[in-house]
Structure 1
């Protein structure tokens, strides 16, 4: 028969292992983490990995304090202005070969969609679950990003969590939440 201390230690070791495993399963899940009325993640290109920084807001990339965390873009002119790196170009930050200056962003059909961005961050290994719900009584969309983290490191992972949703009806607002 084992001493009580060994049994208790073994119990807590297994409980710790199961808790870590549970927190990591969501990070390993390859399924799409979009819920509700989200039509698609933005960008939809599969080969845009080397250009992800071009899908950050230009203003946010140049000056973190000036960047806004919650974004609603529902027309082409706002879209172009928001991602116009030439507008915010600073030769001390970007060299002349900065690839986003002339990068063509994936177009959005603003007659059918609105583009929402909900900035969220986490440490180490992070996965985001995005949910957009429509509340007709309150005349608003509710955009919630759930941040799932694993690991004890301090590395910052962030995402603008860009999603396309059905065109925001006239008079509707967007409420942004992070959980």
Structure 2
């Protein structure tokens, strides 16, 4: 039986910390579906379509990773994909409380689905998409914290943004 895991997130934008978790998850599971959430509570920098394209380019070297998006409850999406696992990255203790609540409700709604927490590698423990966007907004170099395709997209996004003028 093929083991399928879903690695959900907003990925706005994808960072090297995200890729670390995706790569390591792909070493454990036969297939990893990286699923971009349509989050109505956030105003994203990149559209869902842009995030999907950036993720496809950033993960093209990992053969057992596919990129997708979803609306609604994560657990419904996981069941639809016939996955048995959810992969979540943890940067620090501060992430744990929220992630524990999410894992608990997912377990209640989908008792057959397990959540696997992976500690982010130390060199990415400070990294978040919010920090990347803040740094990139001021045209600082982000090439060592995001994939090259994302660094280019951030530069293009902020150089044409009225926020930077």
TM-score normalised per structure 2 = 0.27
Higher strand fraction (1 or 2): 1
- Pair member with larger Rg: 1
Normalized per residue, the structure richer in helix is 2
TM-score by length of 1: 0.25
